[in-house]
Amino acid sequence: MAVERKARAKINLALHVTGRRADGYHLLDSIVAFAETGDRILVAPAAKLTLTVTGPMAAGLTAGPDNLVLRAARALGQGRGAAITLDKHLPVASGIGGGSADAAATLLALGDLWGCALPEPAAVLALGADVPVCLAGHAARMQGIGEIITPLTLPEAHLVLVNPGFGLATADVFRALIRRDNPAIEMTKVPLPDAAALADWLSRLRNDLQAPAERLAPGIATVIAALEAQRGCLLARMSGSGATCFGLFATAETAAAAATALARPGWWVRAAALAG
């Protein structure tokens, strides 16, 4: 009896850094959504806990005990066994929550396999700031250090995701941040009617990590400029701490055409629907 779960890419449509706690954790205010592309988690009964990593992005990961998938399994399992397969399709350290989405999918899959409840919220948050919202699995406003999640309804829209072929360490990007007490997100009336209205609202917001990431890796600005040049692109921005960027489009056709036009050696490019 195997159980499979999708681990969809997490997209920060906007990300404001609003403060820093005494313990060093940054306070965030983010509009988070998901793309209909990502990794897969497959779990099956076994006497002990094991992890196998497959897929086109498997080379970027090890199956050692520090892998977030195994950490999530241990947080839930309390000694239970399972054979876990991570089919890796998202770039590693790319700002689209691949590791967090994998951990959340692992918790959900193993909860079904073992017939047990999910761990306490504090244990989930300890796995990473993005794990709670990935576990919720729907568009949301995420605040605090990731523990405050308010569901949102977003209109139909499409994305083109572009990673320039390199990763960025989140800690390095935060260290390069000049201001850490930025204004919070100004919410709009929801639900928004269409992708154009979504883009208009998002254009008044920002990703506070984009400027420091561009200073560390100027190639990010190149990706954003290439996305902005595509017909039908309503907004282009970096997700999370980078280096993956997204373009927002109204239709699947314009997104697919842009993805085709953006294909080049070394770039990871995907068109996908924006999921709620």
Query: Would strands 82-87 and 49-54 be described as parallel, antiparallel, or unpaired?
Result: parallel
Q: Check if 130 is active-site.
A: yes
Taking the C-alpha atoms of residue 119 and residue 116, their distance in angstroms, rounded to an integer, is 9
Buried b / exposed e over 42-58, threshold 16 CB at 10 Å, is bbeeeeebebebeeebb
Provide Rg for the chain, Cα atoms. Answer: 18
Greatest CA span in the chain, whole angstroms? 53
| 152 in Cβ contact with 119 (< 8 Å) | no
Tell me how far the alpha carbon of residue 270 is from its chain's centroid: 14
Range list of H helices, 127-251: 131-136, 170-175, 195-203, 210-216, 219-228
Active-site pick, 10, 29, 102, 208: 10
Active-site pick, 39, 87, 130, 208: 130
Question: φ and ψ at 269, to 5 degrees?
Answer: -130, 130
Which residues carry out catalysis? 10, 130
